[in-house]
């Protein structure tokens, strides 16, 4: 009987597919399988591409190709004068997806919004642990439990977020993937039938694409949502062909097996650019590769020693050799495309003689220290081992001996954040939401020591500036505070900023309208294909 049913379903599916031969199809060669399709508890960019950026929407969105926040499911919002109350007015008539496994009976309302956050926040919510071993890492990582006091329904289309203290990055946080709005009606239906795990494997959202099918580790299929509140998108079928090896992705693109691919290997970019059927878009990434000095361990507790170590390094040579034209020297912690970037900052100069003098003045001779190199390639640092070798040579020229050390990736970060970790530690960051706070506070606030402040650096003036910037909502005032923070950072040199990298996106010339995203997400809602 089961076989019979399957056969019937097969026939029906083949019939449906047969009817859609002329549909506009876009194939994206993606780099990894998603863990599942619930964007709340996942953390990877590949997870978000497959769920939040296709199936779901948020109250606010980042504009295409930028980080400015624009209305999403909320058409408008107000912030109270004290910065403690955010009132969102939901767009009326927003439909959830109708699929073979769910038919919504109502439009989006305040209950969905409240549910979307309470499931991540309240431990007594039945959905808090709906999958075994679930943890809401981004909700926690963005400090939402600390800032949220309550989320209340004012009426069906109005939701009020009350905070415990002012938090200017709040709006940007709500544009992030973890803040995707899910359907409470669907959740209730699954709870009633006891199939809670389906929430992560058969997703329902309001986004541009409905989920069709996932063949584990191979193919994800989506179809354009005809009732999308912004109007149906140009393409009909979106397919993710999961292809882990970048060289194979490039071959598939060249062979026409996919239309667009993520993360080409640097060595393949020239070949892809030379292919007349292809175009390669590029953009400055919203990232920073840097090297943290542990400011609590001698002699790097002395700012002059830190300055000297940075002055000995030829950053331009590193960027030329390792980033191969796909990066630029970084003088600030935040990238130039981010608001509040201070272009007046003078970078620590490359000056080996000056470095020797500073070290001698500080009474440091025959210095030997650990130089940490990440074991993995990241967009902000494609080859940390090579960077370490170049720095090692530069330091040798000023009499500093570096021992290059490395560990497995999670072990590396774990050891790196130890407060008494010796040496200089290469690491980096890719922005989550386009807010400077996401760089300054996440990486160098006092409370991030032992978590992601690898310099164990807690400077009262810097801390005051970035904490004040969180509390005011006026962007000009925040810019002034972040400018001050950048000046202190450069003067104190808790880390040497190395480079901001470029991101490439190769695609077939028949793909039109694709915009590169500074946050590194891949969105296809504004893409079309020409035949």
Partner 1 sequence: MLRFILQKLALIVPTIIGITIASFAFIRLLPGDPILAMAGQHGVTPARYEILKEQFGYNLPIWQQYFNYVAGVLHGNFGVSLATKRPVIDEFMTLFPATVELALFAMLIAVALGIPAGIFAAIKRGSWFDQITMGVALTGYSMPIFWWGLLLIIFFSGYLGWTPVSGRIALNFFFPRVTGFMLIDSLIAGNPAAFVSALRHLILPAIVLGTIPLAVIARQTRSAMLEVLGEDYVRTARAKGLEPGRVVGVHAFRNALIPVVTTIGLQVGLLMGGAILTETIFSWPGIGKWMIDSISKRDYVSVQSGLLLIGLIVMGVNLLVDILYAVINPRIRVQ
Residues that bind partner 1 (CB under 8 A): 3, 6-7, 9-11, 13-14, 17, 25, 27, 32-33, 35-36, 43-44, 131-135, 137-138, 140-142, 197, 200-201, 213, 215-219, 221, 239, 241-245, 247-248, 251-252, 254-255, 257, 407-411, 413-414, 417, 429-430, 442, 450-452
Nearest to partner 1 of 217, 531 (CB atom): 217
- In angstroms, the CA 378 to CA 63 distance is 25
Task: Provide the minimum distance between the beta carbon of 356 and partner 1 in the complex, in angstroms, as a whole number.
Answer: 36
- 352-361 and 303-311 helices cross at what angle (nearest 10)? 160
Task: Provide the minimum distance between the beta carbon of 28 and partner 1 in the complex, in angstroms, as a whole number.
Answer: 11
Task: Provide the minimum distance between the beta carbon of 249 and partner 1 in the complex, in angstroms, as a whole number.
Answer: 9
Selection from 481, 373, 467, 477 nearest residue 428 by Cα: 373
Task: Provide the minimum distance between the beta carbon of 12 and partner 1 in the complex, in angstroms, as a whole number.
Answer: 9
- Report CA-CA distances (Å) from 230 to 70, 110, 207, 209, 344: 13, 19, 9, 12, 41
- In angstroms, the CA 75 to CA 61 distance is 11
Task: Provide the minimum distance between the beta carbon of 8 and partner 1 in the complex, in angstroms, as a whole number.
Answer: 10
Nearest to partner 1 of 117, 439 (CB atom): 439
Nearest to partner 1 of 353, 408 (CB atom): 408
Tokens 């544009």 locate to: 175
Q: How many CB atoms lie within 10 A of CB 476?
A: 8
Nearest to partner 1 of 44, 354 (CB atom): 44
Task: Provide the minimum distance between the beta carbon of 264 and partner 1 in the complex, in angstroms, as a whole number.
Answer: 15
Nearest to partner 1 of 214, 229 (CB atom): 214
DSSP string, 433-478: SS-THHHHHHHHSGGGBTTTBTT----HHHHHHHHHHHH---HHHH
Q: Is the dihedral of CA 431, 408, 178, 226 positive or negative?
A: positive
Nearest to partner 1 of 98, 406 (CB atom): 406
Nearest to partner 1 of 85, 137 (CB atom): 137
Secondary structure of residue 20 in the 3-state scheme: coil
Phi-psi region of 513 (alpha: psi -120 to 50; beta: other; left: phi over 0): left
Task: Provide the minimum distance between the beta carbon of 80 and partner 1 in the complex, in angstroms, as a whole number.
Answer: 28
Selection from 54, 22, 21, 24 nearest residue 37 by Cα: 54
Q: How many CB atoms lie within 10 A of CB 366?
A: 8
Task: Provide the minimum distance between the beta carbon of 160 and partner 1 in the complex, in angstroms, as a whole number.
Answer: 27
Nearest to partner 1 of 78, 414 (CB atom): 414
């Amino acid at each position: 009987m089961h076989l019979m049913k399957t056969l019937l379903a097969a026939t029906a599916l083949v019939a449906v597919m047969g009817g859609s031969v002329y549909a506009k199809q876009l194939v994206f060669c993606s780099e990894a399988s998603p863990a599942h399709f619930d964007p709340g508890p996942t953390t990877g960019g590949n997870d978000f591409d497959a769920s939040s950026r296709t199936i779901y929407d948020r109250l606010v969105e980042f504009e295409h190709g930028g980080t400015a926040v624009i209305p999403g499911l909320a058409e408008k919002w107000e912030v109270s004068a004290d910065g403690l109350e955010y009132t969102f007015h939901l767009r009326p008539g927003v439909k959830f997806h109708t699929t073979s496994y769910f038919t919504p009976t109502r439009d989006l309302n305040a209950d969905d919004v409240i549910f979307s956050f309470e499931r991540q926040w309240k431990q007594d919510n039945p959905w808090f642990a709906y999958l075994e071993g679930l943890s809401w890492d981004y909700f926690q990582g963005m400090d939402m439990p600390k800032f949220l006091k309550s989320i209340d329904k004012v009426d069906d289309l109005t939701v009020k977020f009350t905070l415990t203290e002012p938090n200017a990055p709040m709006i940007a946080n709500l544009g992030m993937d973890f803040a995707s709005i899910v359907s409470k009606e669907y959740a209730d239906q699954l709870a009633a039938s006891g199939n809670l795990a389906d929430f992560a494997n058969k997703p329902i959202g309001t986004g541009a694409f409905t989920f069709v099918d996932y063949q584990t580790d191979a193919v994800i299929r989506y179809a354009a949502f005809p009732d999308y509140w912004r109007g149906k998108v140009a393409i009909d079928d979106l397919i993710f062909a999961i292809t882990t090896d970048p060289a194979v992705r490039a071959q598939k693109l060249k062979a026409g097996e996919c239309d667009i691919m993520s993360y080409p290997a640097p060595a393949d970019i020239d070949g892809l650019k030379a292919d007349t059927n292809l175009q390669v878009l590029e953009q400055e990434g919203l990232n920073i590769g840097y090297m943290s000095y542990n400011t609590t361990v001698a002699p790097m507790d002395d700012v002059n020693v830190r300055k000297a170590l940075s002055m000995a390094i030829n950053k331009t040579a590193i960027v030329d050799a390792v980033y191969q034209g796909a990066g630029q020297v970084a003088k600030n912690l935040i990238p130039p495309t981010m608001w509040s970037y201070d272009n007046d900052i003078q970078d620590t100069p490359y000056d080996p003689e000056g470095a020797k003098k500073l070290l001698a003045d500080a009474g440091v001779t025959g210095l030997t220290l650990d130089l940490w190199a990440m074991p993995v390639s990241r967009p902000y640092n494609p080859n940390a081992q090579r960077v370490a070798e170049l720095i090692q040579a530069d330091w040798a020229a000023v009499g500093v001996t570096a021992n290059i050390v490395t560990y497995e990736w999670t072990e590396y970060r774990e050891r790196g954040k130890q407060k008494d970790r010796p040496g200089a530690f290469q690491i980096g960051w890719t922005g989550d939401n386009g807010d400077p706070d996401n760089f300054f506070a996440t990486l160098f606030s006092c409370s991030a020591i032992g978590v992601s402040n690898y310099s164990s650096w807690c400077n009262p003036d810097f801390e005051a500036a970035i904490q004040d910037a969180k509390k005011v909502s006026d962007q000009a005032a925040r810019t002034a505070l972040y400018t001050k923070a950048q000046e202190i950072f450069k003067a104190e040199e808790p880390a040497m900023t190395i480079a901001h990298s470029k991101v490439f996106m190769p695609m077939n010339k028949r793909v039109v309208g694709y915009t590169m995203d500074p946050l590194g997400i891949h969105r296809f809602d504004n893409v079309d294909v020409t035949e």
